[in-house]
Chain A
Amino acid sequence: MFRVGRSQWRERADAACMPADVERMSVSVEPVDHAAEFRDPSDLAALVEKAAAGDRLAFERLVDSYHGRIFSMVYYRIMSRMDAEDITQDVFVKAFGGIGSLKNPELFRPWLYRIALNAVNDFLRKKRLRSIFTVFTREQEDAGFAERRTGPDYLERKEFWDSLSKFLSRISASEREVFRQRFLDGLSIREISQVMGKNESTIKTHLYRAVEKFRRETELSMLLQEEMP
């Protein structure tokens, strides 16, 4: 593993710098593309236009394509399957009611994610308020999902989520949200800026800082390092 300080890294790098005959690399940071169906953006735009004009079947196709993505997006933020199901349902009902007002069909993805992000933030706000009056435990939250604790890869999953949540808790809220949207939800910089209502430079700055901290993160890096080829 290659984890050294900035100056040490530079020294080593300078010493090892080689001329142009090194093979050109090909690295992808893109996470899983859940909506492979819409490789051509015009397909998605056409479907969104139909849905906005009141075509229920077109909207149902959009739901089929984005259900998993929105559910995962919500789950990554609240870590409760039951609540993620409820919030995802609400997100699509809101989107169904509001798609007629979406003027630019190309903005469907960021628009849908923004609805989901608002729903998540509302949920977390209410949960925080409830926690003032009730004693809340993680065990209670997970009750009813025993299969999660008995599966063969439960420990692996738990270790992964614990490490990720520790890392995310150590970075600022803006960095956290941008990092999640880029590397977990798979949104582009432009889409993130549309979801968060900030300009692209600000998003890049937050992302840069988050990636820099991720690089220095030991526990999570070790975990992922083990799986790297």
Chain B
Amino acid sequence: MSHDKRPQCDIGQVIRSIVDENDLSPEHLRHIEECPVCSEERRILAGRLGLLGRRAAEYSPLPARRIVLPQEDHPLLLRPGSGWRLAFGTAAGFAAVVLAAAWIMFRAGFVTPVSHLDVAGEMARDEALMAEISMLEENPLPEAYRDISPEIISETDEDIFDFIVPVSSLDRWSRGKEA
């Protein structure tokens, strides 16, 4: 039994020859070139694709506006080899600005050296504040209100009773009751 090893007609190979001729084996390429059906199919398909590109170019408008480039030259950032220099310069500049700002603040008194005395004073102020907080926890009412707090009212205080329930209304109430 003999097998025919010659390439057979295959539209896939024809398309492949249009996409990239180099992908085909020399045998397939020769077949496509020599076979009238394959070569005709290739001619038609390739012709249509070529015509498509030419028609697209023909049927699209031409640009009417001129390209206007910026007046200045290329930005320094994008010059070849300038990248690391620019990065280094930026970092150095930023560091200088931070140092200068710190120096100015120090000189202006925003930042002063801290002594043991300052630390002791700060601790004393903290203790006083804590004591005040503890006192408020025990008796949260301000001093002015302590006189009228319930504990005081619970004691007998005629003046307050008179203020809350005046004597005249007590008289009227007792008179009405009697009546």
Tell whether A pairs with B: yes
Residues from chain A with a CB closer than 8 A to the CB of B40 are: 2
Whether A75 and B61, one on each chain, are in contact in the complex, defined by CB atoms closer than 8 angstroms, is yes
Asked whether, in the complex, the Cβ of A56 is within 8 Å of the Cβ of B57, the reply is no
Chain B's interface size range is 35 or more
- Which label, helix, strand, loop or mixed, suits the secondary structure of the A interface? helix
Name which of A36-44, A106-114, A123-131, A219-227 contacts chain B.
Answer: A219-227
Give chain A's interface residue range (CB within 8 Å of chain B): 35 or more
Would B50 and A31 count as touching, CB distance under 8 A?
yes
Contact with B along A151-177 (1 / 0, CB 8 A): 001001100110010000000000000
* A53 neighbours in B (Cβ, 8 Å): 80
Are B51 and A13 interface neighbours, CB within 8 A?
Answer: no
Which residue of chain B has the shortest Cβ distance to A52 in the bound complex?
B80
**At the interface, yes or no: B70 with Cβ under 8 Å from chain A?**
yes
Contact status A12-B37, CB under 8 Å: yes
State the main secondary structure of chain B at its contact with A: helix
Q: Are A10 and B34 in contact (CB under 8 A)?
A: no
A228 close to B47 (CB less than 8 A): yes
**Cβ contacts under 8 Å, A99 to chain B:** 74, 78
Q: Once the chains bind, are A59 and B69 in contact (CB under 8 Å)? A: yes
Beyond A19-B34, A228-B44, is A96–B59 a contact (Cβ under 8 Å)? no
CB of A117 within 8 Å of the partner chain = no
| B157-176 interface bits toward A, Cβ cutoff 8 Å, 1 = contact, 0 = none | 00000000000000000000
Is A211 close to B, CB under 8 A? yes
Report the minimal beta-carbon distance from B15 to chain A, rounded to whole angstroms.
5
Contact indicator A18/B43 (Cβ below 8 Å): no
Q: Is there an interface contact between B63 and A25, defined as CB atoms closer than 8 Å?
A: no
Q: Which of A186, A215, A229 has the most CB atoms of chain B within a 10 A radius of its CB?
A: A215
Bound-state CA distance A18–B32 (Å) is 11
Contact assessment for A27 and B63 in the assembled complex, using a CB-CB cutoff below 8 Å: no
- The 7 lowest CB-CB distance pairs between A and B, nearest first, are A31-B53, A13-B9, A13-B37, A100-B78, A71-B63, A27-B46, A29-B46
